[in-house]
Structure 1
Amino acid sequence: MRRSLPIVLSVLLAAGCAVTGDEGGDDTGTGGTGPITFATGRDTTAYLQPLLDRWNQAHPAEKVTLLELPEAADEQRAQMVANLQARSSRYDVLGLDVVQTAEFAENGWIIPLERGLFPLDRFLPPVVDTAVYKGKLWAVPYTSNAGLLYYRTDLIKKPPRTWAELRTAAQEVTKKHDIDGYAGQFLAYEGLTVNFSEAVQSAGGQVVSPDGTRVTLDPAKAATALAFLQQGLREGWIPKESLSYKEEESRLAFQEGRLAFVRNWPHAYGPAKAKLGDKFAVTRLPGLDGPGSSSLGGINLAVSASSKHQHTAQEFIRYFTGLENQRRVLTEGSFPPVWSELYDDPELIKRFPYLPVLKESILAAKPRPASANYNQLSLVIASSVTKALSPPYSESAGDMAVSLKSELEEIIRTQ
């Protein structure tokens, strides 16, 4: 997570926008048509304009305008929440991180959607689950995501399947070459929550039940996961610099040749290819005894409850999540699509050879809990893990796991 000042500023700026914008309320309704605004994170927008232009040319009276939110997921959420709480109609279509569906639905900030309007049966099943809350469809999957292990093929003989193999390979490569071993996203923000959750899952456990109603954290398995990360930092094959890494910093470290291994999302593949050529490949995340399990990521598209043009917003989502646009999401944006058949397309596999591994990773991934209090759960996890990973490692992995379980149970009890 970034320091609190930028987040506070984002909230204040968003609130200011809400005050000066049109107010929602009585004029909202699923029948409204007219111009709409699509609000989504800046990190996902570079390729979007041509897709928006196609819609605008076909719908001159219902044009869509792109509104770029901050890159960090925490700051995106802060800005959207401030706007929606003010019942502003400035946002029509929201690009939500998959973990936000439950929170936004529970608070009445988005509207339920009719399942029959969308070809959900042709989407990857785990991806559809991220858009459902309490039996209703609240959003439509637009991109999916699963963590992958990137590795240097010119330095590594074969990809590691287990943590022990990763440790051995990382130690060997750091001794033979002027390069660090392994890193993920270890700054105290949502990325650290994801990395820790993946480690717990890859040790055979889970932090919270999928419906967000029970803490399922096994302290022994959580301690095993945390001890693996602590060991890497102590021994030096996980560089201490990685404690400040988010996705972008870890991506740059790998593609600039400073890391032999990195955990990152598929969007890092294209830039790495441009820099490293054929000197790298991807595989599934390693685990305690074999391939591990990623956290399921991605973006879902939802309709603001305060939008005055909800019919147009839904039709835009139907267009934007259609098969041809999903192909462009991959070919032009390098983001994982949600249509299952695209992962089996020979032409796409030739261009994006990681697709079979990515499909395996998505199908084996676990969703983060569908909890209206997910943001609070994530903050507690990231804070606790940060303390455990920071020198001098005064708190044992076992003690941290026990105290974390207690804190999470308190949040679940009070929700």
Structure 2
Amino acid sequence: MARRAVAVLAALMVAGCAGLTDSGAARSAPGTSGTGPITFATGKDTTAYLRPLLDRWNQTHPDEPVTLLELPEAADEQRAQMVANLQAHSDVYDVLGLDVVWTAEFADAGWIVPLDRNQFPLDKMLKGVADTAMYRDRLWAVPYTSNAGLLYYRSDLLKKEHLKPPRTWAELRNEATLLSSKYHIGGYAGQFLPYEGLTVNFAEAVQSAGGQILSPDARRVTMDLGTTQTALGFLVDGVEEGWIPQEALTYKEEESRLAFQDGHLAFARNWPHAYGPATHSSLAGKFAVTRLPGLNGPGSSTLGGLNLAISAYSKRQKTALDFIRYFTGPEIQRLVLTEGSFPPVWAELYDDPALIKRFPYLPVLKEAILSARPRPVTPNYNQVSLVISSAVSGALSSSKPVDETVADLKQQLGEVVQPRG
């Protein structure tokens, strides 16, 4: 009887862990079969769409309600709070909303648990999106939203001046200069404060000029000096010539969104979530979006997005897993778009005629996501980003020449990617 009891207990433990392991044994964790109330830690809900979606889960799961824990808006600050919590082995966080670039770091550190890829409809997601949740051929999170940078522009002003949306940097420069001078507004802004957003903007400039910063596995610095100088020079020239206003050097996503939405910019680079609020502002009917411009034609965005993972220290991992399955399913995916203006990961939604009628930018967004490039997959990504944003910020503030900045950046990145032993 004792042997039978042990066998039954073992079977129950295996059943409780179903879905939490991809291949081989999962990491030991405090609550692989635990159920009950859970928390969802993610960045600040700037569009106020998230709580109503969570209420849907809570209404049907009264014994397993989810509580939203809002972290700071900036990705760097979100990561810092999560890392401090996980390094302390705290069970305060159950489900983690991870920026796509954190997968490798969090998996490598043992802070999240591996998942069974067969438990999720990864084949229904946009091409390349599921790869952001993989590390060393295992699934560590589930894509919840995708993302790609878009160029927001004042369609009313372009129409008055008989201009077309810019497809190249030269066109953006000329049109931003003209509109800035004639209408007394800023020409163009992105996210130029020294943080992850600046790294993204710089990476987009480099790849839109035909270059690359690191190899996909982040083991080599593949940055061509000439191409990178052209990319950085485009941004630096914009600040020096004035069509990128000085205020833009203090912008994160929300600041640039508000500046454009309030009519202070002719062009702005931002994520799709800025579209919804603008349609409910005084700018409604006066703006549109297109792909980011590049050196000689349409550019390439950085692939962004949010993946949902389970903390290795959660005591209620069974409920956390069930919640992730539900929250990445088709019903919520549609609401992610319609209520939050965030890009869903389910490919079929981008071809839905009713959604395209309501969100005319969907075809452009789909093109932008499919042509976007992921950031390097490395546990050291945070250090890579800090080196880039610091160097680029120095050049934008005119404290260092472009050629010197690029040469030093290449050397510094080499030290991060291949540190001296």
Specify the code of the residue in structure 2 equivalent to 1:411.
Answer: V
Alpha-carbon distance between aligned partners in 2 of 1:314 and 1:125, rounded to the nearest angstrom: 23
**Does the aligned pair in 2 maintain the 1:220–1:401 contact within 8 Å?**
no
Deviation of 1:396 after TM superposition, in Å, equals 2.4
Alpha-carbon distance between aligned partners in 2 of 1:55 and 1:371, rounded to the nearest angstrom: 34
Any stretches of 5+ residues in structure 1 without a counterpart? 1-24
Residues 16-415 of structure 1 aligned to structure 2 (within 5 Å): 28-43=30-45, 46-156=48-158, 157-275=163-281, 276-390=283-397, 393-414=398-419
**Does the aligned pair in 2 maintain the 1:170–1:181 contact within 8 Å?**
yes
Using the size of structure 1 for normalisation, the TM-score is: 0.91
- Name the SS for the 1:295 alignment partner: coil
Deviation of 1:44 after TM superposition, in Å, equals 5.4
Cα gap change, 1:99 to 1:66, in 2 (>3 Å): same
Deviation of 1:394 after TM superposition, in Å, equals 4.9
Give the equivalent residue in structure 2 for 1:13. Answer: none
Deviation of 1:32 after TM superposition, in Å, equals 2.0
**Does the aligned pair in 2 maintain the 1:173–1:179 contact within 8 Å?**
yes
- Name the SS for the 1:290 alignment partner: coil
**Does the aligned pair in 1 maintain the 2:276–2:340 contact within 8 Å?**
no
Cα gap change, 1:287 to 1:212, in 2 (>3 Å): same
Cα gap change, 1:27 to 1:114, in 2 (>3 Å): closer
Any stretches of 5+ residues in structure 2 without a counterpart? 1-26
Deviation of 1:31 after TM superposition, in Å, equals 2.0
**Does the aligned pair in 1 maintain the 2:108–2:379 contact within 8 Å?**
yes
Deviation of 1:352 after TM superposition, in Å, equals 0.7
- Name the SS for the 2:382 alignment partner: helix
**Does the aligned pair in 1 maintain the 2:31–2:316 contact within 8 Å?**
yes
Alpha-carbon distance between aligned partners in 1 of 2:188 and 2:232, rounded to the nearest angstrom: 15
Cα gap change, 1:110 to 1:175, in 2 (>3 Å): same
Alpha-carbon distance between aligned partners in 2 of 1:60 and 1:264, rounded to the nearest angstrom: 38
Give the equivalent residue in structure 1 for 2:8. Answer: none
Deviation of 1:45 after TM superposition, in Å, equals 7.0
Q: Deviations over 1:344-381 (max 9, x none)?
A: 10110111111100000000001111111111111110
Cα gap change, 1:394 to 1:33, in 2 (>3 Å): closer
**Does the aligned pair in 2 maintain the 1:182–1:237 contact within 8 Å?**
yes
CA RMSD of aligned residues (A): 1.4
**Does the aligned pair in 2 maintain the 1:188–1:386 contact within 8 Å?**
yes
Alpha-carbon distance between aligned partners in 1 of 2:74 and 2:239, rounded to the nearest angstrom: 25
Cα gap change, 1:45 to 1:83, in 2 (>3 Å): farther
Alpha-carbon distance between aligned partners in 2 of 1:350 and 1:340, rounded to the nearest angstrom: 17
Deviation of 1:30 after TM superposition, in Å, equals 2.4
Specify the code of the residue in structure 1 equivalent to 2:220.
Answer: R
Give the equivalent residue in structure 2 for 1:4. Answer: none
Alpha-carbon distance between aligned partners in 2 of 1:360 and 1:26, rounded to the nearest angstrom: 41
Using the size of structure 2 for normalisation, the TM-score is: 0.90
Alpha-carbon distance between aligned partners in 2 of 1:26 and 1:176, rounded to the nearest angstrom: 63
Alpha-carbon distance between aligned partners in 2 of 1:118 and 1:164, rounded to the nearest angstrom: 44
Cα gap change, 1:255 to 1:27, in 2 (>3 Å): closer
